[in-house]
Every structure is written in structure tokens, then in C-alpha cells.
Structure 1
Amino acid sequence: MYELRHLATLAAVADEGSFGRAASRLGYTQSSVSQQIAVLEKIAGGALFDRPGGPRPVRITPLGAVVLQHGRDLLRRADEMREGIERFRAGDSRIDIGTFQTVSNTLLPRVIGELRNAHPGCDIRLFEEETDDPDLSGLDLMFFDARTGHDGLKLLDDPYFLVARPGDFEPGPVPLTKLDGLPLVAHPPVCHQVVIEDFLRARDIRPQFVFRTEGNEALLAMVRAGLGEALMPRLAVLRHDESLALHELAPGLPSREIFLLWQAGRTHSPLAAHAIELARKAAADLS
């Protein structure tokens, strides 16, 4: 059976017109070149070169031209595969990441920026979804805000605050009982919002939910407008301004846990492994 080195030798002889010059180009002995061409001729079932002898160059035969054409194609594809493997090892591959609103606005920009700086040729695809049931099919990594049965890494705890207008409450922690009957704007009852509402209900604390939306900025805008207060995790209010006041609660609400998930048994690409490390560092800085 022929090998790629046999095809490379065939191409060198065709280019140089001489077994000797092909040997010098490839770093082989002339007898080694002759042996490799003999292997190809045996496989092809005929002569690949006419050998006039003396100083005159060898010439490719019609059969040799067919083998050479396909041989060059195989060599090109082998080079492309080798280059692709090298780019993959260097991190210049594709990564698909699932995310959700809060992470998209805080952790993820830093991770993406540093990935792009380190691997300019990488292909990053992001998919944002607010869901109770993480679907990792087709994804390399997924940020999620609850414990699941998936493999992954806990990045940080994200504590909750009462978001209000300045002056609505005295400075300092607000007793949890103050939430009973309080008008609140809130996220829809999915993901960790369900945990928060169950926690309050178990203590017979029943706020009045006057507006629900997935958008963090919309919730903050409604607090500023005086429609109601909000219970929001820290990452969602990192960039709040002086038009809002943040209060701790006493006792505190259960913190939201932020995880980075991946499929069980999945071998990470170098790019995904780097993304995991960057997410770990970004989360540690935020913590």
C-alpha cells in the first residue's frame, strides 16, 4: 500500500525531472527514491516515468500523470488537515456557548474578549435562553443559574437585594417581613425566581406582583418610575446608578448559584478549556 511519502516523492521527481535532484530536495538517497517510485508503479500496474537515461530528464507517463493528479490532491488535503489540527490545538476552532441575560451582561463579555484576544481566528457562537431545563445538545458550554445533573463548575453565589428608590426605606438591611403586601416588579416565575417566591410563601410573606418581565433594565426602569420595588440578584444590578438604592434583607434570600455546564464525558477542545478557565477567573473577580 502506498503512503503519503510515496506520493510526495512522485511529485518531487515530476517537478525536478530527476531522481537525483528529487532525492536532494527530500533529503533521501537516490536509491530510496527509486524504491518508493517502484512501490507506486507496482500498485498502479505500470511505469510512472519514462527513463531515457543519461542527463536527459525523466518524463511522467500517461499513467503517472493520473497518479500524480490524484496524489497532489491527497497531499493538499493532508496539508489542510495538518494545518487544521494545528489551528485547533492553538485554539482557533469553533465554540458554542449557551448563556442567559445576566451572564451575557457581566461575565461573558470579559470571557469573549479575552478569548478573541488570545485566539483571533476562533469562531464563537452564543445562544441566549431563559429556561428551567438546560439543553446542552449542540453546545460546548452553558452558563446556568441552578444545580443540575450535568457536569460542570460552580462559578459563584449571586446574593439578592431589595432594589428601591432612595428614601423608600431606611438605610441598612430591610426586615423580610416588610415584603408582605409590598408592590413588586419581578421576573417571570421560572428559574431561580421560583425559589425566591417559594421561600417567601413558606414564611407567609406574600408580595403584590404588579409587573413581570424577563428584562432586567425594564425592571429597574419600573422601580425608578415608582411602580414597585424589585428583588434582584447582585449581577443584575452591578451597574445601577444613584437613582436606585440596594438594601440587604434580614434574613437574606437564598443566593442564586451560577454554574458553567458541559456534557458528561465530553472532551474539551483547547478553546473550550481556555473559556472555562477565563470564566473561573472572571467569576472570582466578581466575587
Structure 2
Amino acid sequence: MGEVELRHLATMAAVADEGSFGRAAMRLGYTQSTVSQHIASLEKAVGGSVFDRPGGPKPVRITPLGTVVLSHGRDLLERTEDLAAAVDRFKAGEGRIDIGTFQSVSNVLLPHVIRRLREEHPRCDIRLIEDESDPPPVSTVDLMFHDRRVPGEIEHLKLLDDPYVLVAPRGAFPEGPVRVTSLDRAPMVAWPPTCDQREVEAMFARSEVRPQIVFRAVGNEAVLAMVRSGLGSAVLPWLVLTGAEVADPELSIHDLHPGPSPREIYLLWQAGRTQSPLTKRAIEITVEVATEWKAQDRGSATAVR
């Protein structure tokens, strides 16, 4: 069998539906001779007649070979329409996006990004993966939030600096900044000694401060709950705190002097990868959300501390 063209199959379907070459030509906007040429080319490709042509006013009749060709041809035409529709949706931002994230971004920034993205593209397919491994698996997602630079062929877009603060039970320290030496032998709640917690414990070591770690937990909520219970204080990045914690009457928030250097929050993606329109828009929205957070939440931080 020779090469079959989709436009010839579309012409055949129109002839079968209309019962004549003339009416098919009117439906498709072709001349009748063009329809005849399309059908002749199709018959040459499949090696036989697809229509019987009785002539005169009688309608054309599909042949047994034509029935086989038309059945599969309609399937191909439908798939082509589906493909065209899928490409149009993709270009309009209705495709799929995979985003890697970590706890504090998931709780504070990402919900705003997802809400805006879905408002603009309600039919988009968003998949989230929370992964705090170091280095993060950037190659497995379209975008990855991470709290440090990553070596390799990776694009880095810095979103914000995230300073550390001391979160303490209300009344544990006087209002205002707290010197790190005040934490020597003080009960502390902390993350496990990996990733960001290494920065905090290095800061303690530089200041020759030895706090008493009474509880370690991976979850931010668990750490804050133990601080709220009075078990001890915690040194945490500001992004970990939501508006509820900032306004919590059982907690006090203090600048720490000297404190760890702020952690840097980045949006990462593989260098050289062609990005979908949805991914490009997600990057733009993320920058908008991060900019708003810096203006609003750091302003509220100054008021609290």
C-alpha cells in the first residue's frame, strides 16, 4: 500500500457523508475536480476503488475496500483532531507541570502559586513532589524549589533571603533581639542535624554556645508545637512561620545576634530544557508571590520583633 494522506481521508469521509462529489466539494470549499483528484490519489495508494460511481443523479456507493479504508480513516482523523486540540491546550497553558518542593515552601509560598496558576489555567495538570534530599532531583521535575545552590547544568533563580529567628515560649526572653550567648545550655527544639540545621549548629559552635537539644523532629509543625508547649526554644528560618505563628500569644519571635546567615530560596530547573508555556507562567507567578511575601511578611516580622 502506498502513502495515504490525511486530507484525502477527510475528502473521502465528506463524500461518504454527502453521497456525491459535488456536495462534498461544497462542504469542504474545494472544486469538484479537486475532490476527484483526492479520491483518485487515495485509490492509487490503497490499490483499489473506494467508491462505485453510478453516474447521473444517483449517489456514489462505498465499496467493500472503501468501508475498510473509511473505518480506519475516521479513527485517524479523530486522533488528528485530538492531537490538534491537545497541542492547542498545551500552547494555551493547559498542559502538565511537575514541581518539587519542601516543607516551608509547601506551607507558605506554593499554595499561592498553585491558586493563581489554576485560576488562569483551570484545566492544567499540576503534580507536586515534596523532596528534601540534597542534592534535589531537579532532572525529574519541571521546577524545583530548593534552599541552596546546586552544582551541575542547572538554572538558579533566587527568590528571596530567608533569615533565621529565635522562636521561644512567650516570656522566656525579654522583648527584642536575643544574643546567641543567652542560649548556652538552654533547652532547644531542633530539626535533625542535616541540611539547614547544620548551619544553625555551626553558628552555635562559632559562638562557643552549647544549647541542650531536648527534642529533634523533621516536621516544622512538631517543632513549633513543642516550643508552644514550653519544652524549649528553636532557631528557625522565617519562612517556616505562618501568620498564625507570628500572631500566636504563646510564642515570641526574636532576632538573634549574631545569627546564622540567611538561607537562600531558589527556583531551579535543568539548563537547556525547553520549557512549556505553563512552566514559564509558573516561574513568573512564583516571582510575583515571593516579591509579595517579602514585602508583607517581613513587614509584619519587624512589627512583631
TM range (shorter): over 0.9
Correspondence for 1:188: 192
Correspondence for 2:298: none
Instruction: Provide Cα deviations, 1:160-181, integer angstroms capped at 9, x if missing partner.
Output: 1111122221221111222222
Correspondence for 1:225: 229
TM value normalised by structure 1: 0.96
Aligned-pair CA distance for 1:196: 1.9
Contact between 1:165 and 1:243, CA under 8 Å: does it hold in 2? yes
TM value normalised by structure 2: 0.90
Correspondence for 1:247: 254
Specify which of 276, 287, 301 is matched with residue 280 of structure 1. Answer: 287
CA distance in 2, matches of 1:219, 1:10: 70
Specify which of 118, 132, 135 is matched with residue 134 of structure 2. Answer: 132
Correspondence for 2:158: 154
255-264 or 105-114, which deviates more? 255-264
Aligned-pair CA distance for 1:72: 0.8
Correspondence for 2:301: none
Task: Please state if 1:261 is matched with 2:268.
Answer: yes
Contact between 1:166 and 1:245, CA under 8 Å: does it hold in 2? yes
Task: Please state if 1:95 is matched with 2:97.
Answer: yes
Correspondence for 1:235: 239
Aligned partner of residue 8 in structure 2, secondary structure: helix
Correspondence for 1:205: 209
51-60 or 133-142, which deviates more? 133-142
Instruction: Provide Cα deviations, 1:107-146, integer angstroms capped at 9, x if missing partner.
Output: 0111111111111111111111332220124311111111
Aligned partner of residue 53 in structure 1, secondary structure: coil
Contact between 1:160 and 1:253, CA under 8 Å: does it hold in 2? yes
Aligned partner of residue 138 in structure 2, secondary structure: coil
Number of residue pairs the alignment of both structures matches: 287
Aligned partner of residue 126 in structure 1, secondary structure: strand
Correspondence for 1:35: 37
Aligned partner of residue 54 in structure 1, secondary structure: coil
Contact between 2:139 and 2:269, CA under 8 Å: does it hold in 1? no
CA distance in 1, matches of 2:79, 2:131: 39
Correspondence for 1:167: 171
Q: Which runs of 4+ in 1 moved over 6 A?
A: none
Aligned-pair CA distance for 1:263: 1.9
- Taking every aligned residue pair, what percent have the same amino acid on both sides? 61
Contact between 1:196 and 1:253, CA under 8 Å: does it hold in 2? yes
Amino acid at match of 1:252: G
Aligned-pair CA distance for 1:203: 2.9
CA distance in 2, matches of 1:6, 1:282: 51
Aligned partner of residue 189 in structure 1, secondary structure: coil
234-243 or 22-31, which deviates more? 234-243
CA distance in 2, matches of 1:210, 1:131: 25
CA distance in 2, matches of 1:19, 1:43: 19
Contact between 1:146 and 1:192, CA under 8 Å: does it hold in 2? no
Aligned partner of residue 170 in structure 2, secondary structure: coil
Amino acid at match of 1:275: A
Correspondence for 2:54: 52
Instruction: Provide Cα deviations, 1:6-29, integer angstroms capped at 9, x if missing partner.
Output: 110011011111100000000000
Contact between 2:203 and 2:259, CA under 8 Å: does it hold in 1? no
Contact between 1:184 and 1:208, CA under 8 Å: does it hold in 2? yes
Amino acid at match of 1:254: S
Correspondence for 1:24: 26
